[in-house]
Amino acid sequence: MFTTTLLTAPSSPHLDPALVENLRNAWGGGAAQWLAPDEAAEFTLPRMPDNRWNVWADLQTVGVDLVIQPDRGRRKKMLLADMDSTMIQQECIDELADLAGVGERVKDITARAMNGELDFEGALGERVELLTDLPETVIAKVLDTRITLMPGGQALLATMKANGAYAALVSGGFTAFTAHVAATLGFDENRANTLLVDGGKLTGKVGLPILGREAKVGALKDITARLGLTYDDVMAVGDGANDLGMLKLAGAGVALHAKPSVAAQCDIRINHGDLTALLYIQGYAKTEFAGV
**DSSP string across 252-275:** EEEEES--HHHHTT-SEEESSS-T
Residues lower than pLDDT 50 in the chain: none
CB atoms near residue 271 (< 10 Å):
17
Residue 113: predicted pLDDT? 86
* CATH classification code of 76-292: 3.40.50.1000
CA 260 to CA 269: how far, in whole Å?
10
Provide the residue ranges of all domains of the chain, joining segments of one domain with +.
Answer: 1-72, 76-292
Q: 1-72 adopts what CATH topology?
A: Alpha-Beta Plaits (3.30.70)
CA geometry: angle 150, 153, 156, nearest 5 deg: 155
Pairing of the two strands 166-174 and 195-198: unpaired
CA dist., res. 33 & res. 3, Å (int):
11
Residue 112: alpha-carbon gap to chain centroid: 18
Q: What is the pLDDT of residue 182?
A: 98
Cα separation, 187 vs 96, in Å, equals 24
pTM: 0.95
Hey, do 1-72 and 76-292 end up sharing a CATH topology, with the first three levels equal? no
* Selection from 146, 140, 113 nearest residue 128 by Cα: 113
Strands 2-7 and 78-81: unpaired
User: How many helices and strands, by DSSP H and E, does the chain display?
Assistant: 12, 12
What integer pLDDT is reported at residue 115 of this predicted model?
85
From the candidates 65, 82, 239, 243, give the one annotated as an active-site residue.
82
Report how far apart, in Å, the C-alpha atoms of 133 and of each of 91, 108, 144 are: 20, 21, 21
The answer to whether 84 is a known catalytic residue is yes
Q: What is the pLDDT of residue 120?
A: 87
Greatest alpha-carbon pair distance for the chain in Å reads 67
Residue in 16, 50, 58, 84 annotated catalytic: 84
3-state secondary structure of 206: strand
Q: Cα–Cα distances in Å, from 286 out to 39, 189, 252?
A: 9, 26, 20
pLDDT at 114 (0 to 100): 86
Cβ-Cβ contacts under 8 Å for 154 (sequence gap 6 or more):
185, 291, 292
Shortest CA distance to 181 belongs to which of 289, 86, 75?
A: 86
Q: What confidence score (pLDDT) does residue 191 get?
A: 96
233 catalytic per annotation: no
Cβ atoms 248, 216 nearer than 8 A:
no
Q: Residue 121's pLDDT is what?
A: 87
User: Kind and range of the H or E element at 238?
Assistant: strand 234-238
Q: pLDDT value at position 116?
A: 85
